[in-house]
Structure 1
Amino acid sequence: MKLTPTQTRYLIIAALVVLWEVLPRAGLIAPLFLPPLTQTLAAGFGDARAYASHLLVTLGEVAVSMIFACGGGILVGAVVGSVPKLGRLLLPLFSGFYAVPLVVLYPVFTAWFGIGSESKIVFASIYGFFPTMLGTAAGIATIDPHYLVAARSMGATLPQRIVRVVVPAAIPTVLSSFRIGGALVIVGVVVSEMLTSSAGIGYLITSYRTVLDSPRVFAAIILVLILAVAFDALVQLAERRTAAWRQAGRAAAKTARGTRPGGAMQPASVAP
C-alpha cells in the first residue's frame, strides 16, 4: 500500500508523539532533558490560566509586529520591485542589512525602547521586514514585462494592469515572502521575550528553564509550535483562496498578449 504525502506526514507526527512518550518513560532520555508528553501536557493544562494570559501578550506583540514587518515589507517591496532604478539602488543595501544577525542588536533596542513590548515589537518587525520586502521585490521584478506592455497597448488603465496582471503574477512570491517573514516575526517576539521580558511565552520558557521545570518549559514550546503551525495554515488557506485569481490573471495576461501569425497585436478590448 502506497502512502500519500499527507498520510506520510501524519505517520511521522504520530511516530514522534509516541517516541516522545516512550523514550523518557523507558529511561533512554533523562526527563530533565525531555519529559514524557503526557507529563508535559498535564503541566500545561494545570497552569492553563497562566499560559493563556502570557499567550495573549505574545499574540498582541506578534499581531502588531506583523503589520509593520509584513505589511510594510510588502508595500516597500512592491515599490522597489516596480521601479528598476530604485531596486538597483536599494536592494543591495537591504540585502546587506539582512545579512547582519539582528539578535546582536537587541540590547540596543532595549536601551532605546526599554524592556517592555515596544522593544519586542521593533525587533520582531525588523526581523521579519527584510525577507518579506526582498521576496516581494524579487517577485514583482520578475514579472514578464511583455504582459504589462501588452496590457498597456490594449488600453488597460493602471488600476487594471495592477489588478489583472501585477497582483496575480506576484501573489505566489508575495505569499511565500509573507510566510517567511511572519514566521520570523514569531521567532523574533519569542526570542526577545526570552532575553528580557516580564510577560509572554518566551518569558515563561526562561522562567521555568531557570528552575529546571522541564514539563512547563516544553508546554510553552508546544504553544509556540501551535502558533507557528496555525500561521502557516492560514497562509496555505490564502494560497488556496487566491489560486483561481492567479489563474484568471495569467489567462487575462495571455489573452492580452495574443498576436496574429505575423506577430502583430490582435485587436482586443480590455474588460473594465
Structure 2
Amino acid sequence: MRRPAPATVRWLILVVLLLAWEFVPGTGLVPELFLPALSKTLTVLWQGRVEYGQNLLVTLYEVGFAMLIACGVGIFVGALVGGIAVLRNLLLPVFSSLYAVPIVILYPIFTAWFGIGSESKIAFAGIYGFFPVMLSTAAGIRTIDPQLLLAARSMGATIWQQITRVIIPASIPTVLAGLRLGGALTIIGVVVSEMLTSAAGIGYLVSRYRTILDSPRVFAAVLLILVLSVLFDLLARFVERRTLVWQTAGRQGRTMSVAARRPTAATPAVA
C-alpha cells in the first residue's frame, strides 16, 4: 500500500481543522465565546471588509518597511560580521547575547523614542526580525570553503564575481532560512506592537474587540494574520525555488573543492 503524498496529507489536515472549527462550536463542547464557528467568523469578516481592509493596509505598510530593516540591514551586517574576522570576534558574541533577550520588554523604549505611531512599530519589528537574519547570514558566510575563494581569485575573479558566483551560492541556503525566520518574527512584532499601543492595524482590531468580548471579530482579525503569514511563507518558498540553481552551484563547488584536495590512487607518493 502506497503512502499518501505529503501535500495530500497537509491538505487533509487543513480540511479537518476547518471542519472542526465549523462544527465543534455548535456541539457545545467549546463555548462560542472562546471559539466562534468558521462560517460566523467569515460572515463578520465580509460584513466588516472595509474596516478590516483599511487596517490590513496599515499592517502591510508597517510590515513592508520593517522587512527592509530586518532583511536588508540584517544581510548587510551579517555579511560584514561573517566576512571580517575582527568584527566577527568582537560583535558576534554581542549579537548572540542580545538575540537571547526578549525584545518585547524593550517596546516601551521604542514608544518613548518614536511615539505610538507606525514608526515605533516599524523600528520594533525590524529589530525583532534583524537578529535571526543577521546571525544566519554570518553563519552562512563562515561556512564557505576558503579554497573556493582562493580558486576564484587565482582565476582572476573580481570582487563582484566572487560575491555573485561563490559567496552567494555557497551561503544562500543558510541566509534563506534566516530570512524565513526573520520575516515571520517581523510580522509577529508588528502585530504584537499594534496590540499594545496603536489606533490602527490588525493587531489593534484584535485588542479592541477582545476588550468588548466580540469573539467573531477577534477571530476574523486572527484569520487575516494567519493568511498574511501563510502568504509570506509561500513567497519565501518561491524565492527558494528560484534560487535553487545557485544553491546547487554552491554545493557542487564545495564538492569539487573537496575532491580536488583528496589524493587519488594515481598520484605518486611524495618522498
TM-score normalised over the length of structure 1: 0.92
Q: Is the 8 A contact 1:154 1:256 kept in 2?
A: no
Identity of aligned residues (%): 58
Q: Is the 8 A contact 2:148 2:253 kept in 1?
A: no
Alpha-carbon distance in 1 for matches of 2:148, 2:167: 9
**Residue 158 and residue 254 in structure 1: after superposition, are their counterparts in 2 closer, same or farther (change >3 A)?**
farther
Aligned-CA RMSD value = 1.6
**What aligned pairs does 1:149-168 form with structure 2 within 5 A after superposition?**
149-168=150-169
The equivalent of 2:45 in structure 1 is 44
Alpha-carbon distance in 2 for matches of 1:237, 1:87: 31
Higher alpha-carbon deviation: 212-221 or 238-247: 238-247
**What aligned pairs does 1:100-249 form with structure 2 within 5 A after superposition?**
100-249=101-250
Alpha-carbon distance in 2 for matches of 1:250, 1:92: 28
Q: Is the 8 A contact 1:164 1:253 kept in 2?
A: no
Q: Is the 8 A contact 1:165 1:250 kept in 2?
A: no
Alpha-carbon distance in 2 for matches of 1:3, 1:53: 41
Higher alpha-carbon deviation: 95-104 or 242-251: 242-251
What runs of 5+ residues in structure 2 fail to find an aligned partner? Answer: none
Alpha-carbon distance in 1 for matches of 2:159, 2:49: 52
The equivalent of 1:267 in structure 2 is none
How far residue 250 of structure 1 moved from its aligned partner, in angstroms, is 4.0
Q: Is the 8 A contact 1:151 1:256 kept in 2?
A: no
The equivalent of 1:266 in structure 2 is none
Alignment size in residue pairs: 263
Higher alpha-carbon deviation: 243-252 or 107-116: 243-252
Write the deviation string for residues 155-211 of structure 1: whole angstroms up to 9, x where unpaired: 222222111110001111111111111100000000000000000000000011011
TM-score normalised over the length of structure 2: 0.93
Alpha-carbon distance in 2 for matches of 1:254, 1:134: 25
Alpha-carbon distance in 2 for matches of 1:250, 1:154: 20
Higher alpha-carbon deviation: 141-150 or 61-70: 141-150
**What aligned pairs does 1:71-90 form with structure 2 within 5 A after superposition?**
71-90=72-91
Q: What is the letter of the counterpart of residue 190 of structure 2?
A: V
The equivalent of 1:31 in structure 2 is 32
What runs of 5+ residues in structure 1 fail to find an aligned partner? Answer: 264-272
